[in-house]
Amino acid sequence: MKCCMAEKYDHWCENEALVKYVDNGNYFCIFHAPIGRKGISSYEFNNKILLKINHALKEDLECNLEGTIFEWEISFVQLLKSKDLPKLNFKSAIFNSKTDFSGLNFNGVNFGSAEFKNGTNFKNCFFLKAAYFSKAIFEGLVNFSNTIFYFGARFSKALFKNQATFSFSNFKTIFLCSEAKFLGKTFFRNIRFDGDVHFRETIFNNLLSFKGTRFNCKVYFFDTQFKRRSFFLENNFFQLVDFGKAIFEGEGFFINSIFHNKVSFLKTQFLGEITFKETEFQNTANFNRANFAEKLFFSEVVFKEEAKFDKAAFKGYAVIAGETFKNIGSFKQIFIQDKMRFENSFLHKISFLDTDLRNIDFINCDFQKYKNRLVLYDEINLNSRNVKDDDYRKIEVLYRRLKQKYKDEHDEYSASNWHFSEKEMFRNGSWKRKFLPGLTNLYRISSGYGERPVRSAIVLIFLVLVISILVGISGVGSEHKDLIDFKGLNTFADISFKNIWSLILGIFQYATFTKEPILKPVNLLGETLKTIAQILIPVQVALFALAVRNRFRR
């Protein structure tokens, strides 16, 4: 007779002594006997484990303990004379009580599908070869502090039902933790990862803390779920980081961290409040299509390369304060349900194309200046690419919405700036409006779209002087011989202050439709100029008054 579990576990126990317990004709060896059926003391059982390990170590063999049921508390460091272990197979083993592996040197170990029913201690261990914990179940506290994994640590589909601590550890090569579940608090503090880190589709059901951790490798949190608070504090990410499609159901904090390479939050769901503070993105940061369902705070964050927020949804109040966008930033087609605020931000290269800017407050922000006016980067960017008429129309809409926003807030100074920019985009949107004489160009030249009082005053003076001189050249007559004694500017002798002033006065009288002006045209040209003065001068005066009103209304 042999142990009924021998065939299941590759016959390693078929020569072991059997216990008296029989279950429906099934016999069990001492290692696979159920709890309470081993028939020996804890000391005797643990001593048998010691003998098997020492024998394997002496013969340089693998010690196979697959499926073993450890009924009692066991401390391997107290049992063994040496800290060095042979290659161990604890696959599907059950550790029913506290288990202490602290301070041991593992030369390859497989804990795949093992169950740790109570506290487990791997503190100060060296895993000199590959360590497998795939599908392992940790029901009690587990401690991997001050532990070094030299040839890969595999925790895929592992289940941590209680607190898990990995502080001050070093993972020299790949760390696989995909599809794992952490139901208790989880701490990765002062860790060094030198190989790629995989948390794909992992669930953190309780508090998670990555603090003071150095990632010298690629990090994957793709499709990971963060159910409670998540802290990423004082970390350095030196390679690609991927949070794509991750879900933050609780609060998230990214503070005092540096992303040295590209980072992706593509389609990430931020369902709780999120804070990015004093964090630096040294390469492209991709938040495209991210969903911020609650409050969002970006404070003193630096984007040294491109920052992408295209088609992101901001459903809670969003504050982006003190950001320095060193390179291009893109907030195209973003959705803002509540309100967004940019404060003390550097916005020289930020695109807002197809975004409703009426829901964004800009407080003490630094925009680019172009031809003595504030402009959006979208307008500057027109000069660096092939432009379609529709591009001008989209930017015109941006400026119109900004103008309306500031009008509603009674900020006439800002409204004036964006109104001018809106009209410039309208004019530039068609080569006909831009280059051919028309109302738009006349409006721009005569008064800066009703926003430049100095320009409108200069144009008014120019019109009066030019028309006055032309009227003088065409010839004039007067019924007031006691006041006016000349018939026009026929010779250089006729050019005097008195004569010029008389002409100017006459033009103003034409423009105000005075019944008896001091000067009268004597030919058809003069009458034509009089009519032009009666049309243009009042219009220009009105434009000047409008520009002055807009300036002093601020």
Place of tokens 């006349």: 442
What are 299's two structure tokens?
A: 């404070």
Model confidence over 426-478: pLDDT tens digits? 887 777 666 677 777 777 777 777 788 888 888 888 888 888 888 877 777 66
Q: What share of the chain is helix, strand, coil (3-state, %, to 5)?
A: 30, 25, 45
| 369-398 confidence digits (pLDDT tens) | 988 889 999 988 887 666 676 788 999 999
Residue 492 scores a pLDDT above 60: no
- Letter string b/e over residues 119-140, b meaning 16 or more CB atoms within 10 A of that residue's CB: bbbbbbbbbbebbbbbbbbbbb
Listed residue (322, 285, 319) closest to 300, CA to CA: 322
The per-residue pLDDT for 404 is 92
pTM metric for this prediction: 0.83
- Report, as an integer, the average pLDDT of 514-523: 76
Taking the CA atoms of the chain, what radius of gyration do you get in angstroms? Answer: 41
| Separation CA 449–CA 452 (nearest Å) | 7
pLDDT band of residue 188 (cuts 50, 70, 90) is: very high
What phi, psi does 221 have (nearest 5°)? -110, 30
State how far the Cα of 451 lies from the Cα of 420, in Å rounded to an integer.
7
- Structural tokens at position 415: 């409204």
Give the residue-averaged pLDDT of 505-517.
79
Contact 210/231 with Cβ under 8 angstroms? yes
Between 143 and 473, where is the model more confident? 143
The band of 32, judged by pLDDT with boundaries at 50, 70 and 90, is very high
In sequence order, what DSSP letters do the residues of 131-179 get, joined into one string?
A: EE-TT-EE-S-EE-TT-EESS-EE-TT-EE-S-EE-TT-EE-S-EE-TT
What tokens does 46 get? 């643990």
Q: Dihedrals φ, ψ of 504, to 5°? A: -60, -45
Q: Is the pLDDT of residue 266 over 70?
A: yes
pLDDT at 341: 95
How many angstroms separate the first and last alpha carbons of the chain? Answer: 100
Instruction: Please give the Cα distance from 169 to 84 (Å, whole number).
Output: 19
Alpha-carbon gap, residue 171 to 151, rounded angstroms: 8
Instruction: Mention every residue, 6+ apart, whose C-beta is less than 8 A from residue 375.
Output: 367, 368, 369, 421
pLDDT at 241: 98
**Which structural domains are found in the chain, ordered by start?**
453-552 (1.10.287)
| CA 207 distance to own-chain centroid | 23
CB 158 within 8 A of CB 132: no
User: Each residue of 392-422: pLDDT tens digit?
Assistant: 899 999 999 999 999 888 888 888 888 888 8
Question: Could you tell me which residue, 262 or 478, shows the higher pLDDT?
Answer: 262
CA dihedral 491, 492, 493, 496 (to 10 degrees): 120
Among 84, 71, 23, smallest CA distance to 45 is for 71
β-strands 520-521, 476-477: how paired?
antiparallel
Determine how many CB atoms are found less than 10 A away from the CB of residue 531.
12
Torsion of CA 86, 91, 96, 99, to 10 degrees: 30
C-alpha to C-alpha distances, 364 to 279, 314, 322, 344, nearest whole angstrom: 21, 21, 10, 5
CA–CA distance, 231 with 187 (Å, rounded to integer): 10
pLDDT at 28: 94
Q: Of residues 115 and 522, which shows the higher confidence score?
A: 115
- Ramachandran region, residue 280 (left: φ > 0; alpha: ψ -120 to 50; beta: rest): beta
Contact 534, 510 (CB under 8 A): yes
Name the least confident of 134-148, 157-171, 393-407, 478-492.
Answer: 478-492
Give the whole-angstrom CA distance, residue 70 versus residue 99: 9
At residue 341, what are phi and psi to the nearest 5 degrees?
A: -130, 125
- Helix (H), strand (E) at residue 55: helix 42-59
pLDDT tens sequence across 323-337: 788 889 999 999 999
Q: Which uninterrupted H or E stretch holds 515? A: none
Considering only CA atoms, which of 533, 544, 478 is closest in space to residue 509? 533
* CA dihedral over 352, 355, 356, 361, signed as positive or negative: negative
Hey, CA dihedral for 38, 41, 42, 45, is it positive or negative?
negative
Helix (H) or strand (E) holding 552: helix 524-552
d(CA 37, CA 28): 9
Strands 63-64 and 175-176 turn out to be unpaired
pLDDT on residue 159: 98
CA–CA distance, 214 with 191 (Å, rounded to integer): 6
CA distance 125 to 168: 12
The C-alpha atoms of residue 356 and residue 280 are separated, in whole angstroms, by 28
